[in-house]
Chain A
């Protein structure tokens, strides 16, 4: 589990990979490596490297069609990142509830 989170954070820590991921999220269809390289003016090799890292985290899924490989985005793994938000949201809810009880007790 921890390894997945580490991989995920490493994957999205890179701005180019975030851009590629974003491009795939907003694309209406799966994109080939060539299409991505054209869009980012990057070598196929460079794109392939980034896609492999994104693919390892599950953020990008691959689909083979004949000789071409198409990539599409899968945002589900981002839930892991979101857990920090959830942790603090819960933490502050609990804390404010506690503040209220404290003030109520003081009032009496």
Chain B
């Protein structure tokens, strides 16, 4: 079972436009998740999904690398203490840009931490995903 997710997508947009979209807080907050973010190594960022009556969750982590065009940060959901890592890489190909996304460390959700995670969310996680998806749409 592979525990790293990789995605590749080619955009018909200039590389700097995409770099800004994934590194600037106001842009991340528009298309992704409400963000307190700086593309600076060592910055402790917070992503907050739209708050609702179920008290939705936050994602936090530390920026590990932020040099055009590679962005790496850790990704910790709420207070699970499970550290996963998200890597973004951009590559200009002619007039298009190839985006490479990798989310690794998901196997860390297994074991006792996963039990804690399931218990802490206790059904709230699904609501969170729905909220997140609705927000993203």
Q: Are A and B bound to each other?
A: yes
A residues bordering B, Cβ < 8 Å?
Answer: 2, 5-6, 9-10, 12-13, 78, 81-82, 84-85, 87-89, 91-96, 98-103, 106-107
Instruction: Determine if B54 is an interface residue (Cβ-Cβ < 8 Å).
Output: no
- Report whether B115 and A94 are in contact in the complex, using a CB–CB cutoff of 8 Å: no
Q: Check if B32 sits within 8 Å of A100, measured CB to CB.
A: no
**A96 near B9 (CB under 8 angstroms)?**
yes
Q: Return chain B residues, CB-CB under 8 Å to A92.
A: 5, 7, 101, 103
**Interface residue tally of chain B, by bracket?**
20 to 34
B3 on interface, CB distance cutoff 8 Å: yes
Q: Which of B27, B106, B114, B137 interacts with A88 by CB under 8 Å?
A: B106
Interface residues of B (CB under 8 A from A): 1-3, 5, 7, 9, 11, 13, 17-18, 21-22, 27, 30-32, 99, 101, 103, 106, 109-112, 114-115, 118-119, 122, 129, 132-133, 136-137
Rounded to whole angstroms, the CA-CA distance of A93 and B115 in the bound complex is 26
When distances are taken between beta carbons in the complex, the residues of chain B under 8 Å from A101 are: 31
Residues of A within 8 A of B114 (CB): 5, 9, 81, 84
For A96, give its contact among B1, B101, B118 (CB under 8 Å): B101
Number of A-B pairs, beta carbon distance below 8 Å:
80
Instruction: Please state if A88 and B103 are interface contacts (CB–CB under 8 Å).
Output: yes
CB distance B101 to A103 under 8 Å? no
> Chain A residues with Cβ under 8 A from B118's Cβ?
2, 5-6, 9
Which residues of A lie under 8 Å from residue B17 when comparing CB positions? 103, 106
Contact B111 A78 (CB under 8 A): no
Roughly how many angstroms separate A89 CA and B103 CA in the complex, as a whole number? 9
Q: B111: which of A2, A9, A95, A107 is its contact (CB, 8 Å)? A: A9
Give the docked Cα–Cα distance between A89 and B122 (Å). Answer: 22
Contact of A87 among B99, B111, B129 (CB under 8 A): B129
- How far apart are A14's CB and chain B's nearest CB, in angstroms? 9
Nearest chain-A residue to B18 (Cβ)?
Answer: A103
Contact of B1 among A81, A89, A94 (CB under 8 A): A81
